[in-house]
Amino acid sequence: MSKNVLVLPGDGIGPEIVAQARRVLELVNQQDNLDLTLSEALVGGSAIDAEGVPLPEATLEAAHAADAILLGAVGGPKWDTNPDFQIRPEKGLLGIRSNLGLFGNLRPAILYPQLAHASTLKPEVVSGLDILIVRELTGGIYFGQPRGVRVKEDGVREGYNTYVYDENEIRRIGRVAFEAARARDKRLCSVDKANVLEVTVLWREIMEELAKEYPDVELSHMYVDNAAMQLVRAPKQFDVVVTGNMFGDILSDAAAMLTGSIGMLPSASLDVNGKGMYEPCHGSAPDIAGQNMANPLATILSVAMMLRYSLAAGDTADRIEAAVSQVLDQNLRTGDIWSEGMQKVSTTEMGDAVIAALQA
Ligand code: NAI
Ligand code: MG
């Protein structure tokens, strides 16, 4: 049966990098008989310009109907200062995430050996790094009620948020992480602050419970402050890391920077059925938009994740990842990952090279 992929180019470099990723998806669709049907819709600033809102009704409907969504990036100086927060580009993304219940955020941090120099850390610490951070995306302190700023009896103002997870929320993100670990090196590190926060005592308990269902996966626990240190000291000790929304926000950005090449990092946000939205970790890069110089590889690698996690086409995903590694072996580099002696290529030339590698 045919599956639907919704493509959301977005703003800034979004349309440029998505165009290359779409070419790749169309090619493998043909080559591997995947029977995918692609459609496109507006989101973010471009949707604000055309329809007055960052998430038009038609886009949300198409997102519901799709089996997977490929997103470029949203945002830009033209819209980011709108005093009405409802008419900001990122509301488009948040709207899709919450309406579709995309609670499971998968952020790989992979450093291709060819790019070891791109990291600010010593090559021997990060070369060949391949870890996966699984972040809970729709709960925790970012969403907990009550929240706000109030005036105390003595007239002093205080801000407050609520850190809450119920056991079902913990269990479902735990399952995503255990499944991912099972498909990788079978090691899962759960990150919490169980020495201070009751909510993460429960978190730890549920992870232990789940571990009984996954005897082939080795579960360990780490406090978040130590995890931050270990991530910088010896990141290769990790395989899969699972954590809540706020800790995951911070740790996944730190992990991304270990690789030094944000233009290379894909991500996935999944619902309970494995449907997901896939996007590069970076933003819309307005500083280089429209110049055919953005790195399309993070978006192309997002297509690979989409095929693996939402479209049951893991072999095709492997082929795309191998093709990306091959173009790096050919010394082709966009500006963000360029170094002395390498051949500088444009967005479209990088797309051409990946296509050629897939056709070889
Ligand atoms: P950014 O990730 O867009 O850019 C940071 C730096 O990295 C810039 O110098 C940019 O040129 C470079 N860069 C990013 N992606 C690149 C690529 N593929 N190839 C080469 N260089 C690349 O983050 P920034 O500047 O903080 O935000 C710019 C806009 O993007 C803002 O409107 C922000 O709200 C939005 N944004 C959107 C996200 C999304 O759609 N998921 C995520 C993060 C930011
Ligand atoms: Mg962040």
pLDDT at 117: 83
Which residues are known binding-site members for NAD(+)?
283-295
Q: Kindly state whether residue 115 falls inside one of the protein's structural domains.
A: no
Q: Do both 93 and 192 map to the same domain?
A: no
What's the whole-number average pLDDT of the chain?
Answer: 96
Residue type (1 letter), 329:
D
Q: Kindly state whether residue 74 falls inside one of the protein's structural domains.
A: yes
Confidence of residue 184 (pLDDT cuts 50, 70, 90): very high
What gap in Å lies between CA 227 and CA 191, rounded to an integer? 7
Number of domains in the chain: 2
Q: What angle do CA 291, 350, 345 make, to 5 degrees?
A: 60
pLDDT at 34 over 80: yes
pLDDT at 83 over 90: no
Q: Do both 276 and 252 map to the same domain?
A: no
pLDDT at 255 over 90: yes
pLDDT at 341: 94
**Relative to the alpha carbon of 245, which ligand is closest?**
2
The predicted-structure confidence for 114-130, as pLDDT tens digits, reads as follows: 998 888 999 999 988 99
CB of 96 closer than 6 A to ligand 1?
Answer: no
Range of the domain at 220: 120-259
Q: Do both 223 and 351 map to the same domain?
A: no
Q: Kindly state whether residue 168 falls inside one of the protein's structural domains.
A: yes
- Identify the domain boundary among 259, 287, 316: 259
Q: CATH number, domain at 245? A: 3.40.718.10
What gap in Å lies between CA 268 and CA 68, rounded to an integer? 10
pLDDT at 260 over 90: no
pLDDT at 1 over 80: no
**What value does the mean pLDDT take over residues 186-204?**
97
Q: Kindly state whether residue 167 falls inside one of the protein's structural domains.
A: yes
pLDDT at 190: 98
Of all protein residues, the one whose alpha carbon is nearest to atom 1 of ligand 1 is: 283
- Identify the domain boundary among 237, 259, 281: 259
Q: Do both 50 and 158 map to the same domain?
A: no
| Short-list 107, 133, 113, 138, CA closest to 302 | 107
Given 225, 315, 318, 329, the catalytic residue = 225
